[in-house]
Amino acid sequence: MVTIEPVTIQIANFLITIFNGMIIGLLFDGYRVLRGIMTPKMLITELGDLLFWLIATMLVFGTLIFINWGEVRLYIFIGLMIGFVLYMRLFSRYILRLLKRLWDYSRIGAAFLNTIICKLLLWCIKVLFFPLKWLYVKPGGYLIKSVHKAGKNCSRVLIKRWCKREDPEEQPPIEPPV
Q: What is the CA radius of gyration of the chain?
A: 41
2-46 pLDDT tens trace: 677 788 888 888 899 999 999 999 999 999 998 888 888 889 889
CA of 83: how far to CAs of 40, 92, 146, 155, in Å?
A: 29, 12, 84, 91
pLDDT beyond 90 at 89: yes
Q: What does the pLDDT average to over 59-66? A: 88
Instruction: State the Cα–Cα distance between residues 122 and 149, nearest whole angstrom.
Output: 36
117-169 pLDDT tens trace: 888 877 887 777 776 666 666 666 676 777 777 777 776 666 666 666 555 55
Q: Is residue 33 part of a domain?
A: yes
Instruction: State the Cα–Cα distance between residues 85 and 79, nearest whole angstrom.
Output: 10
Residue span of the structural domain in which 81 resides: 7-90
Q: Is residue 160 part of a domain?
A: no
Q: Is residue 32 part of a domain?
A: yes
More confident residue, 76 or 175: 76
Q: What does the pLDDT read at residue 138?
A: 64
Report residue 178's pLDDT band, with 50, 70 and 90 as the boundaries.
low
Q: Is residue 121 part of a domain?
A: no
